[in-house]
Amino acid sequence: MNMSTHISSQASSSPGVEAADVVRTERAGLDALAEALENPVGLGGAFAEAVEIILALPGRVVVTGIGKSGHIARKVQATLASTGTPAIFVHPAEASHGDLGMVQKGDAVLAFSNSGETTELGDIAAHARRSGLPLLAVTSRAHSTLASAATVALTLPSLPESCPMGLAPTTSTLTQLAFGDALAVALLRQRGFTATDFGTYHPGGRLGARLRTVRELMRTDNAMPLATPNTPMRDVIVEMTHKALGCVAILGQNGTLAGLITDGDLRRALDHDLTTTLAKDVMNDSPLTIGPGIFASEALRLMNERKRPITSLFVLDDDRKPIGVVHVHDLIRAGVG
């Protein structure tokens, strides 16, 4: 028997079945974490205490960890910072060589270590205790050195890793990551962090474009095609052609929106005598409009969900006066579509 035959004979199942076992093992870890977080006298109580400490901080959350826990810590720091909780990552080895100066009065240290015995965390943990800073320890061993030194020990369930040797950090890192997400979202909710706030922290890329408001993209002032109810249709056609948005807003008393004429309305009016027909004879007196605070993505959805998609939306203020108009091309150029 050659080596390849021998190896094949040792395989007990297909890679897909083995992969499914990994997912089930890690899912069990997440279920155990969720159950632990619901326990008010265990992890749930410590979690609530950690949230209160972070909310009261005048400074930042200093997130740290090394190895696989360090990679998780970096992601948690990024999630915290992008959801309204000021946070930085400090590498524990670099902290021992000068970066402890980044950890200031008013900060708290959030340290990730599955074993709680990571020697590289010693200096930053000692610095936190020496400086009177809260030390929040995320570990799976309640009686570890790190947990014993912590202000709050956040003890995650200790479960088997999903690798066949039980050595590679897999289940443990997944539960650390989920714990970090839970912490960030709990803080987000407590702060009343909104989608608008989220957009402020994510101005780049397609996500940033989708979170921009109509106010940022609308055309205003002389770029708006406008007429009055008594404007002759021949003049409406001139205005529609000049502004090239495929519509004209009809303003009533005090500048409020009385109606809208689109190029479709115009085509349907071609059997009229356009020299005597007025805008009020053709306009739609209940057009779809939006407010300036609507997200660009929502404006695009409103345009596209119609049986006959529309290309422009007028933006009204609280007094129903047009303050702008947004065209589908404006949204697409901004990266919303």
What are the pLDDT digits (tens) for 3-16?
444 444 445 578 88
Q: Are 109 and 128 in contact, with CB atoms under 8 Å apart?
A: yes
Averaged confidence pLDDT in the chain: 89
Average pLDDT estimate for 89-98:
92
Q: What is the pLDDT of residues 126-153, one digit of tens each?
A: 999 999 999 999 999 999 999 999 999 9
For residue 317, pLDDT over 90 is answered with yes
Q: What number is the average pLDDT over the span 71-100?
A: 93
Residue 125 has pLDDT above 80, yes or no: yes
Q: Which pLDDT does position 10 carry in this prediction?
A: 46
What pLDDT was estimated at residue 4? 43
Task: Kindly tell me if the per-residue pLDDT of 308 is higher than 60.
Answer: yes
Q: What digits encode the pLDDT tens for the residues 242-298?
A: 999 999 999 998 999 999 999 888 888 777 777 789 999 999 999 999 999 988 888
DSSP strand pairing (289-290 vs 257-262) = unpaired
> What does the pLDDT average to over 197-217?
73
Of 26, 25, 54, 28, give the one whose Cα is nearest residue 154: 54
**What pLDDT band is residue 109 in, cutting at 50, 70 and 90?**
very high
Beta-bridge partner residues of 313: 326
**Reported confidence tier of residue 35, pLDDT bands at 50, 70, 90:** very high
Asked whether the predicted pLDDT for residue 1 surpasses 70, the reply is no
SS3 (DSSP) at 129: helix
Instruction: Encode pLDDT of 56-82 as tens digits.
Output: 999 999 999 999 999 999 999 999 998
Which range (29-38, 61-70, 222-231, 328-337) has the least confidence?
328-337
Q: Look up the pTM and report it.
A: 0.65
Q: Which domains does the chain have, with CATH numbers?
A: 21-192 (3.40.50.10490), 212-332 (3.10.580.10)
Q: What share of the chain has pLDDT > 70, as a percent?
A: 92
The answer to whether 329 is a known ligand-binding residue is: no
Question: Is 168 or 248 the better-scoring residue by pLDDT?
Answer: 248
Per-residue pLDDT, 7:
40
Q: What is the pLDDT of residue 196?
A: 65
Which carries the bigger pLDDT value, residue 179 or residue 271?
A: 179
**Helices and strands, counts by H and E, the chain:** 15, 11
Alpha-carbon distance of 189 to 199, in angstroms, equals: 16
Q: Cite the DSSP H helix spans in 11-67.
A: 15-37, 43-55
Of all helices (H) and strands (E), which one includes residue 260?
strand 257-262
Q: Any residues with CB less than 8 A from the CB of 46 and at least 6 apart, and which?
A: 152, 153, 154, 155
